[in-house]
Structure 1
């Protein structure tokens, strides 16, 4: 049984989570998160802790931000889009139990003080910002770091709030470069 309560978007996500692990969930009912739900999430975070596990799409990111604002120090699980895709639909409900367990085993904890070591300049030098292939590069390195895909500004914020160290960042950067080299060959 997972100690924390997993915050998901809807009932189908709860069913998928329960197929994969024994856990309690709170459903946000999509992006129209009501104050009652936010209060339950805040209480759950105080008492047991929460894991935010939303769909890897724009709406899921919006929900993740709203919930994280109401639950400082919460944990995050990220699922790559290709693991959540079925017939053009992206969602946690489409993921295999194994993919869900993997995402839950690679949790990231958001730092309340947002201290981190990776600088904005590091992202520029790594070609993650202001680069013709920046979006694809962020997609790859986001998977490697376990923080998911995000635009440049949000990616930097994630590196900071999840306290990605320079060592972690450099290791992921090297793997990304190897992967990109392999694609060119």
Structure 2
């Protein structure tokens, strides 16, 4: 499966599933109009790193969400726009062939021959996931501007930004050390 380097921004979880069927990539949902601050921070971080692709439904709501994203993120040459070919179509209802064609036009493609930098075992070992890990996980997500999500999403985002095990250990030490007053 081909890999897209940019983060792809979609409206909802069904859109996310449709994209993941076609490419190995990191996908962020806006969850409709509810653009959370953590999501904006994550997307700003992605812009500095590799860029983003905005792919929203081709209806009025999709255009409003696209405009909101650009407003919050600013004009940037690392924001790419992917558009569906027909009006009033939802990303989730577009066939796989069409999604591949649309994203190949704007995405930076590469063969997926790179091993992930971190594994779920690493996160377990560092007590970022698993039993009694909630506080550490939240600190890492907040401090590294990774947004909220399940363990799999956290791992995907850590690997997207190439955060190493050593860096995670350092961040945990910093966030868990007592503050001086």
TM bin (shorter chain): 0.5 to 0.7
Residues of 2 paired with 1:21 and 1:91: CA distance? 18
Give 1:81 shift.
Answer: 2.5
Residues of 2 paired with 1:76 and 1:53: CA distance? 7
- Rg bigger for which structure? 2
Give the TM-score, by structure 2 length.
Answer: 0.53
Residues of 2 paired with 1:46 and 1:53: CA distance? 19
Task: Spell out the pairing of 1:26-37 with structure 2 (5 A cutoff).
Answer: 26-37=28-39
In structure 2, what is the equivalent of residue 49 of structure 1?
51
| Matched positions, count | 102
Residues of 1 paired with 2:85 and 2:17: CA distance? 19
In structure 2, what is the equivalent of residue 162 of structure 1?
none
Which gives a bigger RCO, structure 1 or 2 (Cα 8 Å, sep 6+)? 2
Task: Spell out the pairing of 1:11-26 with structure 2 (5 A cutoff).
Answer: 11-26=13-28
Give the TM-score, by structure 1 length.
Answer: 0.52
After TM superposition, what 4+ stretches of structure 1 lie above 4 angstroms from structure 2?
A: none
Identify unmatched segments of 5+ residues in structure 1.
Answer: 109-185
- CA RMSD between the two structures: 1.7
Aligned to 2:69, which of 67, 70, 79?
67
Identify unmatched segments of 5+ residues in structure 2.
Answer: 108-181
Task: Spell out the pairing of 1:1-185 with structure 2 (5 A cutoff).
Answer: 1-69=3-71, 70-71=73-74, 72-73=76-77, 74-81=79-86, 90-107=89-106
Residues of 2 paired with 1:81 and 1:59: CA distance? 15
1:20-52 CA distance string (max 9 Å, x none)? 111110110101211221111111111121000
Give 1:107 shift.
Answer: 2.3
Q: Which has the higher helix share?
A: 1
